[in-house]
Structures are given as C-alpha cells and as structure tokens.
Amino acid sequence: MRNNTAYFIVIGIGVIAGLVTLCVKVWPEEEIEPPRVLAEQILQSETPVEQRAAAARKMVIHGSAARPEIRRVVENYKGDDPEVIIPLVQATAKANNYQSIPRLFDLMEHPNVRIRGKAGAAVRKMMGADYGFRAADPKSKRDEKLKMMKRAYGHMEQDGVLSRLYDGKN
C-alpha cells in the first residue's frame, strides 16, 4: 500500500510540474510597444534614463522586425548612458542591422570598455569573422584591429556581401 501511495505522489508532482510549465509557456506575456514608440522614448532627451534603458531592452525583443527603427535610434542617439547604449548595440546585432556598422565602429572607440566590447561583438557577429578586437586591449592595438575591420567592411560593402547576406539581395 505504501508503494502505491509513493507512486501516486510522484505522478501527482509530475502532473503539477507539467501544468505549471504549460501555463508559463502559454500565459500571455507583457504587451511590448511597437518599435516606433520605443524609438521615440529613447530619442527624447527629457525621458528619464531608466525609461530609455527599458525601451532599449524592449527593442532587443523585436529583433529584425525593428531594423529601421533600431538603425534610426543607433545613429541619432546622443546620450552617453551605457544602460541605453548597450541594449541598442545588442538590438543592432540581433536585427543584423549591418547598415549601422559604421556607428558601431565609432562605439568601439568609446571610453567605456563595456560599450566597446558589446560594439565589437556586434560587428564580429554581423561581419562573420573575429578580427581580434578586444575592448580591454591597449588603444594602439585596438586601433590596429579597428582599421583592419573597417577595411574589410569597405570591401564587403563594395561587393554587396552584407546586403546579400542580410537582405537577400543578389
């Protein structure tokens, strides 16, 4: 009788765990504002930094669907807040927004090592190669690697490699 009770307890726990997992997967998530609205929140200088950072993190969730807005924000954002810039860089990489690579090159020279690192990782992902850029390296070494990456990017742009890869254009 005790073995049957233990058996039913284990089965019961398994059923409850399965139902909880199902509810978590099926339960509707928080509504995320459209990319256009998020972009405006980020670009408005009177918006508190915490709100701009939250909007930037939500841009990451939109991914490639927000590519035009991400590009507009990355190229026009004038703030210097890592809490905002880092998620914008991550959104750029997730959306494969290769047209913003020149702006990411600028961010790879930023004084904040975290921003430099995220920008370098985003460029590495989109260009499909590791050029040896390390955000914590001495400036002379970073400059050397950045120069090599810019040269490679120029060739890729000239040959249309990135547009074919990310836009499907032949």
Percent of the chain with pLDDT over 70: 92
Kindly tell me the sign of the dihedral angle through the C-alpha atoms of 127, 165, 69, 36.
negative
CB-CB neighbours of 170 under 10 Å? 6
Distance between CA 56 and CA 51 in Å, rounded?
9
The greatest distance separating any two alpha carbons of the chain, rounded to the nearest whole angstrom, comes to 77
- How confident is the model over 21-75, as pLDDT tens digits? 876 665 646 688 999 999 999 999 898 999 999 999 999 999 888 999 999 999 9
pTM for this predicted structure: 0.79
Q: How confident is the model at residue 138 (pLDDT cuts 50, 70, 90)?
A: very high
Domains along the sequence of the chain with CATH: 35-167 (1.25.10)
Q: Supply the pLDDT for residue 169.
A: 58
Phi, psi values for residue 53, rounded to 5°: -65, -40
